[in-house]
Every structure is written in C-alpha cells, then in structure tokens.
Amino acid sequence: MTVVAIVGRPNVGKSTLFNRICGRQQALVDDLPGVTRDRNYARVNWGGKAFTLIDTGGFVTSDQSTLEEHTGQQVLLAMEEADIVLFVADARSGLHPEDPAIVEKLRRTAKPVMVVINKVDGAERNVHVSEFFQLGVEKLYPVSAAHGFGFGELLEELTRNIPERDEASEAVEPHEVRIAIVGRPNVGKSTLVNSILKVPRVIVSEVPGTTRDAIDTAFERDGQRYVLIDTAGIRRKGRTWQKLEKVSVLKALQSIERSHVAVLMVDAVEGLTDQDLHIAGYIQERFRGCVVVINKWDAVEKDAKQVKRFMTEVRDRLRFMPFAPILTISALSGQRVSKVLPAALEVFREYNRRITTGVVNQALERALQRHEPPRVSGRPLKFYYVTQTSVRPPTFVIFCNRPDSVHFSYQRFLNNHFREAFDLQKTPVRLIFRERKRGPDR
Ligand code: GDP
C-alpha cells in the first residue's frame, strides 16, 4: 500500500486538500456510526491507482505543542510512514520563514516531496507562487483545495509511480490465512503474538512484508498455514510516537490492507474506545473478515450483570459488523488464547465461500417477496438477476434497473438476507448493483 502524507503548518488548508483528494471516499463511511469523526486517513482511488492518504496534522496533538513541535512531529511521521510527501504551503500568506527548514528536513529522507501551493484562487492566482521556488524544488503544484483547481495535474504526477494493482491479498496462496493483529498501544498485541507462537509449530519463517521494516511470521498448525502480519512492528517498542494513539491506527491500516482476517484487540479494562471504532470502521470499509478479541479479561470484575452490559455495549457499537465473532481472552495467562486462530480460520472459510448461481437467485427471489423494494420517485425498483463474481469476501453483483437508487437500508436488508440464506454468519458480504435495462422473461 502506498502511503501519501500531507504535511504543513496549521491553516494552510491541509484538511480541505485532504477532503478534496478523497472526495467520495469520505461520503462512503458516513453511514458507519462512530467512525467518521476525526478521520485523518482515507483510501483513495484515482484512475485505477489506489493509495492511502494521511493528514499528518491530524495525527499529532496541537494543544500544548509549539508550532515547531507540531510540524516537527508531522515531519517525523511522514518520514517514517509515507512513500510520498505532499508539503502544503499557503499562496495567500506567501513563503513562511519556517517553510524552507521543513522542506529541507523532508528531502533528507530521499522520498519524493511534492510542494503544493494551496489557496491559488481566481484573481490571486500566481501572485505568490513563484517565491516558493526558493524552497529549491523544480516543480510547484498550485491548487485551490476550496475550488478544486489544479488537482488533475497533482494526482497525475502523484500516482505516476504507483502500481496499477496494489492488492497484495489477491496474489497470495488461497489456503494461507493472513491475519493482522491490530489495536491500540498496550492492548496486549505483542503478548498475544508471543503466546500464539509459543505453542509448538511445524514451520516458522520470517518473511519480509511489503511495507518497509515489516516482518510477517508464517507457520503451520494442524495442517493449516497461517501468516501473522508484521509481527516485528507489533513487538517493536519505544519509538517516540508509538505512544501517539492515532499513529497506532495508521499502523493498523497498513496491516489490515494485507490481511484476510483482522483480529481487533480491545482492552477489557478500558472498554471499546473511539480509536477501536476507527479501526473497526476501516476493517469494514476494506471488506476484511474480523474477530474481535477482548483482552485482559482476567483484570475485570466478572459479575454476571456487568459482563452482560459490557458485551451488549460492544455488540451495539459494533453493529455495523454483526458478522464479527467476539472472544474474551487473557493473553497474559493464556486463557482462551487457543481459540483465536480457530476463530480466524472459521471466518476465513466463510470468507472464501462460493454459492451456486441457482441458489443465489432463489435467495434473491425470496428476499424480494419478503420485502418489496421501495419505489423510487413513484417508479418500481426492479431486481433481475444476481451472480457471485468473487470471494474474499463473497461478492455478488445484482442487476437491476436503477442501481444508484437502492436505498442504504434496502442494501442492508439484502446483505443480511444473503448472509442468513447462505449461512455466511461470520464474514462480510459485498453487494454490487449494476444496471440492466430489461429483465429476463419472468
Ligand atoms: P501492545 O502494545 O498491544 O503490544 O501491548 P503489550 O502486549 O505490550 O501489553 C501491554 C501491557 O498489558 C503489558 O504490561 C502486558 O503484560 C499487559 N497485558 C497484556 N495482556 C494482558 C492480559 O490478558 N491481562 C492483563 N492483566 N494484562 C495484560
């Protein structure tokens, strides 16, 4: 996954630029409760090229830190995590005394740094732009994030070196389960990884992951091959900003991208936090399988009423992924750690399930009988035919007369109906609506 980081002083328009580049992506997650606030990263598709965009300004805390610390942290984050850096400056206020030093630091990493001059609107166009050549770059990218000017060229250049398909998960052996263990700092990820790997296993190999510094651990257990993603990243400790909560979200995203099943670890003592929901939202958005593991179960009161309240709350806040099994474990004592891999394997099996076309179409017919699709501006919404086009997750293309008018709640109804009909209780299912003018004779 290519990571593009936006860096710049406050008020240069980083988040407007961020929103402009992600465009529709943002709207997509609006339906997910709890995951929209505070979103500083997004997956972007532009002309068949995909990358993850991060607004580094949103990842560092601005409250107490000085301006210098603020951008300094962004620079650190970009240097560590990004493949391409967009440095944003403000055409209205002109070159800031701090800008050259920031750019200089960024360029020391030898990563491509593109200097974007924002707020180049209307008559003011080009007023201050040329002075930014003092930054020592060959090319400037003047844009107006507010008005959308200049983005074609910027994105063209940005995506030039990104490979066409970036989906590592498509290329791997179908029978190897790729598992990402994700969660906030101190939730117990490394304790769990150590505990899983402690049990005797047939082979253990450490294979470089696709991200810089990432090391995956491959092993076989009970005849099944597993890969734990970026075990090195999980166990590596002590970097200044690994303490930064939001950076851990970014780490999680990188691992999720390469996984089939994400094990989302939640701290039983602290309960489900907003950051946990951010990660869950991303798992759902990327259509990965998920097992929710509530860790440190040894450290909470196990009064029956409290347990019930806790579980109800977790289920409720994760209601956008009802298919994710929930386990309670203690990584420290090893209690129920042995359930984690089998749970992930069960999810993976459903994740790869194929349903015959006849059976899928019967299910569609039953769904339509149970719940007639709502009319759209007085005209009927017609569904003609459905076929499964891929696995991981099971993906169904439904042909209908007005694909853009299928209301979210009806999509959800069909999704739940399919999962029930095909006994796909533990995997996400993806529905794609396509246009077809006339129905078959029936
Ligand atoms: P990571 O940052 O997610 O990798 O978290 P660590 O695995 O380093 O764990 C953070 C702290 O939580 C350590 O002090 C662990 O000993 C502790 N811890 C991990 N799992 C458990 C658990 O199941 N119960 C309790 N009580 N503490 C745990």
The widest CA-to-CA distance across the chain, in whole angstroms, is 72
Beta bridge partners of 7: 87
Q: What is the strand order of the sheet 49-55 is part of?
A: 41-46, 49-55, 3-7, 84-90, 113-118, 140-142
pLDDT value of residue 35: 44
Atom of ligand 1 nearest to the CA of 329: 23
Closest Cα to atom 16 of ligand 1: 332
pLDDT value of residue 154: 94
Distance (Å, rounded) from C-alpha 178 to C-alpha 395? Answer: 19
Q: Do 269 and 301 contact (CB within 8 A), yes or no?
A: no
pLDDT value of residue 371: 93
Distance (Å, rounded) from C-alpha 255 to C-alpha 230? Answer: 7
Cα–ligand 1 centroid distance for 295 (angstroms): 8
DSSP three-state, residue 139: coil
Closest Cα to atom 6 of ligand 1: 188
Cis amide linkage into residue 174, ω under 30° from 0: no
pLDDT value of residue 364: 96
Q: Which amino acid is at 356?
A: T
For the chain, domains (ranges, CATH) are: 2-168 (3.40.50.300), 173-351 (3.40.50.300), 357-435 (3.30.300.20)
Distance of CA 252 to the CA centre of its chain: 8
pLDDT value of residue 42: 79
Indicate whether residue 251 lines ligand 1 (CB < 6 A).
no
Indicate whether residue 134 lines ligand 1 (CB < 6 A).
no
Q: Which amino acid is at 185?
A: P
pLDDT value of residue 231: 80
Q: How many residues does the chain have?
A: 442
Cα–ligand 1 centroid distance for 102 (angstroms): 37
Indicate whether residue 187 lines ligand 1 (CB < 6 A).
yes
Closest Cα to atom 11 of ligand 1: 186
Indicate whether residue 245 lines ligand 1 (CB < 6 A).
no
Q: Do 251 and 257 contact (CB within 8 A), yes or no?
A: no
Cα–ligand 1 centroid distance for 351 (angstroms): 30
Atom of ligand 1 nearest to the CA of 192: 7
Atom of ligand 1 nearest to the CA of 330: 23
Residues 6+ apart with CB under 8 A from 379: 402
Indicate whether residue 126 lines ligand 1 (CB < 6 A).
no
Indicate whether residue 185 lines ligand 1 (CB < 6 A).
yes
Given ligand 1 and candidates 181, 191, 294, which is best to mutate, with the most ligand atoms within 8 Å of its CB?
191
Closest Cα to atom 15 of ligand 1: 188
Indicate whether residue 278 lines ligand 1 (CB < 6 A).
no
Cα–ligand 1 centroid distance for 355 (angstroms): 41
Indicate whether residue 295 lines ligand 1 (CB < 6 A).
yes
Distance (Å, rounded) from C-alpha 380 to C-alpha 385? Answer: 16
Using a cut of 0.85, tell me whether the model's pTM lies above it: no
pLDDT value of residue 175: 77
Cα–ligand 1 centroid distance for 235 (angstroms): 12
Cα–ligand 1 centroid distance for 296 (angstroms): 7
pLDDT value of residue 171: 46
pLDDT value of residue 34: 42
Cα–ligand 1 centroid distance for 291 (angstroms): 18
Q: Do 114 and 87 contact (CB within 8 A), yes or no?
A: yes
Cα–ligand 1 centroid distance for 255 (angstroms): 20
- The end-to-end CA distance of the chain, in Å, is 46
Q: Which amino acid is at 421?
A: A
Distance (Å, rounded) from C-alpha 238 to C-alpha 20? Answer: 35
Cα–ligand 1 centroid distance for 189 (angstroms): 7
Q: Do 87 and 115 contact (CB within 8 A), yes or no?
A: yes
- The pLDDT profile of the chain, 442 residues, written as one tens digit per residue, is 788 999 998 888 888 898 888 874 443 344 444 444 456 777 788 888 888 888 887 776 655 567 677 778 788 877 777 889 999 999 888 899 889 999 998 888 788 999 999 988 866 556 678 889 999 888 999 999 888 889 999 999 999 888 775 444 444 446 789 999 999 888 999 899 989 988 654 455 667 666 666 788 988 888 899 999 988 777 765 555 555 666 677 778 888 988 999 999 999 999 999 889 989 998 998 999 999 999 999 998 888 888 899 999 999 999 999 999 999 999 999 999 999 999 999 999 999 999 999 999 999 999 999 999 988 888 899 999 999 999 999 999 999 999 988 998 999 999 999 999 999 999 999 999 999 865 454 4
Indicate whether residue 191 lines ligand 1 (CB < 6 A).
yes
Atom of ligand 1 nearest to the CA of 295: 23
Closest Cα to atom 18 of ligand 1: 188
